[in-house]
Amino acid sequence: MTEDLQEEIRKVAEKVPGCQYVSLVGYDGITVVQHIIEANFDVTLYDAEISSIMLVSKAVKDSLNLGIEKEFIWLTQNSFFIIQPIGEDFFIYSCLKSTGSNPGVARIELNKAKGTIRKIIYPDQ
């Protein structure tokens, strides 16, 4: 199972221009798998911090009765994050360079991988 997840994450990371890394993370902040292309920082720390953002986002969504969360996009001076929930327990995200990357391709590839990953993680659903 872990090898299949790793392969899906690797494919996404390698197909997206300007991708620094892709991670599959639990809402508890624990990294399940990741594929790093270029990162001069602790990606696992980023995974934990992004999970904090996702937990707050989930709480706001529930508080305002906004329906199912599909995607969270966050652009900073240094990075472009595209985050997509997978079920209630996990999310996948890509960290791109803020310039010279292709967020459109990242969104497409994350969407493709999300379906496959969902089937691996939740085989009975």
Contact present, 102 and 84 (Cβ < 8 Å): no
Radius of gyration of the CA atoms of the chain, in A: 14
Partners of 19 in the beta sheet?
96
**Dihedral (CA of 22, 123, 60, 26) sign:** negative
Using a CB cutoff of 8 Å and minimum separation of 24, what contacts does 53-61 make?
53/83, 54/27, 54/83, 54/85, 54/91, 55/27, 58/27, 58/85
> Any idea what DSSP says for residue 26?
E
Output the tens digit of pLDDT for each of the chain's 125 residues: 678 899 999 999 999 999 999 999 999 999 999 999 998 899 999 999 999 999 999 999 999 999 999 999 999 999 999 999 998 899 999 999 988 899 999 999 999 999 999 999 988 87
Residue 45, token pair as written in the block: 């720390």
The domain defined by 2-121 carries CATH number 3.30.450.30: yes
pTM of the predicted model, to two decimals? 0.92
Contact present, 54 and 84 (Cβ < 8 Å): no
pLDDT tens for residues 87-99? Answer: 889 999 999 998 8
List the domain boundaries for the chain.
2-121
